[in-house]
């Protein structure tokens, strides 16, 4: 597949490009978000099968990469985006997932060291799946514990797995419990978070966003 990487670290950019090319992918690289956006908005034919971008890029090294990804997704909602970050920045994660979760991922750069895990995230996001780094999940959960006081320990565990993109069946398998038990926990979570049934919204996504947004930035 065709992959675009936007990353200002020369070593990481080169390493990612070499890794993905060795897997048979075509790779284009950019050192700034501005250059990447200019190239990808020049023509619809320039759109890749996956965009991999850092959050913090020149010139301010704040959120240029994320803002570029959000902008491109607004123009091309089906563009798969995998965001890399050095830190757990839940404000950025919440913004990334605010418009929907299909074909989106947020992975810590430390995870790139695990080649198989990173390549798995690439394939999953490119195919329309969702990847939310477990470390993001665990840190947000730990810091949000008081705000989630009405949730039981098991319900928090289930919400963490929902945030990782797991289905009810996958959650049941991970926790070694029956599917009806998971379905009950999910119902309780949505009820306690004040998310009543609504055919026009995706309550699982809203639950994760509510969770991510509880305590602001983790930097």
Task: For residue 91, tell me if it sits in a domain.
Answer: yes
Residues paired with 3 in a beta bridge: 27, 50
- Answer whether 56's CB lies under 8 Å from 64's CB: yes
How many residues appear in the chain? 219
Rounded distance, CA 138 to CA 125, Å? Answer: 21
Is 194 part of a structural domain of the chain?
yes
- Assigned domain for 219 exists: no
Same domain (yes/no): 106, 199: no
Instruction: Give buried/exposed letters for 174-209 (b at 16+ CB in 10 A, else e).
Output: ebeeeeeebeebbebbbebbebeeeeeeebbbbbbb
Examine residue 217 and state whether it is found in any structural domain, yes or no: no
Q: What is the mean pLDDT of residues 151-156?
A: 86
Q: What is the pLDDT, as a whole number, of residue 144?
A: 47
pLDDT band at 169 (very low <50, low <70, confident <90, very high): very high
As given in the structure block, the two tokens for residue 7 are 């990353």
**Residue scoring higher pLDDT (55 or 5):** 5
| Structural domain count of the chain | 2
CATH number for the domain spanning 42: value is: 3.40.50.2300
Per-residue pLDDT of 86-118, as tens digits, reads: 876 666 666 667 666 788 888 888 877 788 889
- The whole-number pLDDT of residue 197 equals 60
pLDDT of residue 219: 34
Q: Is 53 inside a domain boundary?
A: yes
| CA–CA gap between residue 30 and residue 59 (Å, rounded) | 14
Same domain, 84 and 178: no
Identify the CATH number of the domain in which residue 194 sits.
Answer: 1.10.10.10
Q: Which residue has the higher pLDDT, 139 or 188?
A: 188
| Region class of 133: left (phi > 0), else alpha (psi between -120 and 50), else beta | beta
Secondary structure letter of residue 44 according to DSSP: G
Q: Does residue 30 fall inside a structural domain?
A: yes
Same domain, 15 and 80: yes
pLDDT digits (tens, 9 = 90+) for 174-210: 999 999 999 999 888 888 877 666 544 456 766 766 6
Structural domain for 147, as ranges: 137-212
Give domain status of residue 218, yes or no.
Answer: no
| Residues 75 and 148 grouped into a single domain | no
Contact 86, 62 (CB under 8 A): no
Per the model's pLDDT, the better-predicted residue between 132 and 15 turns out to be: 15
Examine the domain organization and report whether 208 and 118 are in the same domain: no
Is residue 88, in this structure, part of any structural domain at all? yes
The share of the chain scoring above pLDDT 70, in percent, equals 74
- Which of 132, 153, 176 terminates a domain? The answer is 132
């Amino acid at each position: 597949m065709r992959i675009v990487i936007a990353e200002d670290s020369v070593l990481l950019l080169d390493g990612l490009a070499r890794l993905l090319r060795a897997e048979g992918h075509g790779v284009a690289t950019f050192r700034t978000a501005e250059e990447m956006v200019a190239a990808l908005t020049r023509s619809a034919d320039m759109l890749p099968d996956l965009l991999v971008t850092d959050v913090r890029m020149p010139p301010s090294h704040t959120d240029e990469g994320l803002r570029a990804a959000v902008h491109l997704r607004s123009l091309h909602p089906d563009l798969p985006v995998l965001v890399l970050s050095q830190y757990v920045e839940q404000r950025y994660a919440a913004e990334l997932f605010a418009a929907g979760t299909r074909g989106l991922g947020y992975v810590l750069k430390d995870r790139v060291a695990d080649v198989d895990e990173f390549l798995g995230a690439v394939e999953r996001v490119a195919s329309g799946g969702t990847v939310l780094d477990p470390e993001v999940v665990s840190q947000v959960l730990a810091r949000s514990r008081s705000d989630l006081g009405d949730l039981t320990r098991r319900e928090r565990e289930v919400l963490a797995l929902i945030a990782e993109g797991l289905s009810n069946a996958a959650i049941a398998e991970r926790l070694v419990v029956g599917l009806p038990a998971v379905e009950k926990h999910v119902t309780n979570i949505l009820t306690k978070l004040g998310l009543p049934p609504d055919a026009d919204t995706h309550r699982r996504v809203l639950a994760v966003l509510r969770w991510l947004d509880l305590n602001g930035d983790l930097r």
